Chains A and B, each alone.
Chain A
Amino acid sequence: MFFEQVLFFIAGFGAIAGALGVAMLRNPFYSVLALVSHLIALAVLFLLLRADFLAAAQVVVYAGAVMVLYVFVVAYVGGSDTPLRPTEGGLVNAFGPLAAAAIFVEITVAVVGSSLSGLGGTGPDVDARFGSPESIGDLLLTRFLLPFEAASLLLLLAAVGAVVLSRKRRGLEDLDTPREVAG
């Protein structure tokens, strides 16, 4: 129990530090690295919540694959140092953190003032199968077969969309020239 609390606070502070790093570091490249550390801390929290398969998927898919994609795009586009607070529109930029703080206060009040009795406990005792790849796969292929297939279709659409977005468009010059002649 004590060990769990220590681990929660370490991983929680890691996650918060990573999140602050993502939102506040100037160089997008460092933001990506901060997000990787944030995701790994979050995977530790998932393990504390007995979501073993989700923690593994988080590290492999997110911190592995998606972040590599980010690193490639940041390297391609160029990690330009954008100023954290641009001089113009200062009022709007001050409004953002204020609104976020207001949301945080509101959610915290809602959680603390909630009459949900389960919030004060760790939840029921579960067996070792809870959250294991075996039981998650079992659920995905029986009860949640339709969402599973829909997710696979969505991934296919995203892959096709990425190819369409990033291919070289040689046709556009041909399209533009007659338009200029006509105009």
Chain B
Amino acid sequence: MDTSWFVVLSAFIFCIGAAGVMTRRSPLVVLLCLELMLNAGNLALVAFSRMLGNQDGQIFALVVMVVAACEVVIGLGIIVGMFRRRLPIDVDEMSELRG
């Protein structure tokens, strides 16, 4: 398959994720859509790494996966904290992080 197919597919997935981040209200789903965007970036990185015959892009994608895992852990921790304080689980209501 040509590299451009993979890149266009990655752009499509990225845009689905971006639309989800902009329209959904539940922070859980916003985090899931962020995962979609990061994964689309990963797909582009791996596709370009294959195009160049160079494995550096795969290492980069691995680091992106680590960063995504950290972001998920902290984001879910904040959501659990909001739930414990009986705060509304809604990104529109959530305008400050002060405990």
- Count of inter-chain pairs, beta carbons less than 8 A: 237
Say if the beta carbon of A139 comes within 8 Å of chain B: yes
Quick check: B72 and A70 within 8 Å, CB to CB?
A: yes
List, in ascending order, chain A residues with CB within 8 A of B69's CB. 61-62, 65-66, 155, 158
Quick check: B76 and A154 within 8 Å, CB to CB?
A: no
B75 to chain A, nearest CB (A): 9
List, in ascending order, chain A residues with CB within 8 A of B11's CB. 103-104, 107-108, 111
- Complex interface residues of chain A between 90 and 109 (CB less than 8 A to chain B): 93, 95-97, 99-101, 103-104, 107-108
List, in ascending order, chain B residues with CB within 8 A of A172's CB. 99
Say if the beta carbon of A112 comes within 8 Å of chain B: yes
Q: Give complex CA distance A42, B52 in Å.
A: 20
List, in ascending order, chain B residues with CB within 8 A of A131's CB. 55, 58
List, in ascending order, chain A residues with CB within 8 A of B72's CB. 66, 69-70
Quick check: A122 and B3 within 8 Å, CB to CB?
A: yes
If A49-B49, A82-B24, A124-B53 touch, does A99 touch B73 (CB 8 Å cutoff)?
no
If A45-B43, A77-B80, A130-B55 touch, does A136 touch B62 (CB 8 Å cutoff)?
yes
Quick check: A108 and B79 within 8 Å, CB to CB?
A: no
Quick check: B2 and A38 within 8 Å, CB to CB?
A: no
- Of the candidates A19, A95, A96, which one forms a contact with B13 in the assembled complex, judged by CB atoms under 8 Å apart? A19
- Of the candidates B32, B66, B76, B92, which one forms a contact with A31 in the assembled complex, judged by CB atoms under 8 Å apart? B32
Q: Give complex CA distance A94, B39 in Å.
A: 25
Quick check: A121 and B2 within 8 Å, CB to CB?
A: yes
Q: Give complex CA distance A99, B6 in Å.
A: 22
Say if the beta carbon of A157 comes within 8 Å of chain B: yes
- Of the candidates B32, B46, B63, which one forms a contact with A51 in the assembled complex, judged by CB atoms under 8 Å apart? B46
Can you sample 23 A-B contacts with CB below 8 Å? A8-B1, A23-B24, A23-B29, A24-B20, A38-B13, A45-B6, A49-B6, A49-B46, A54-B42, A70-B76, A74-B28, A77-B83, A82-B26, A97-B19, A103-B15, A107-B14, A108-B8, A124-B52, A139-B55, A139-B56, A147-B63, A166-B77, A166-B81
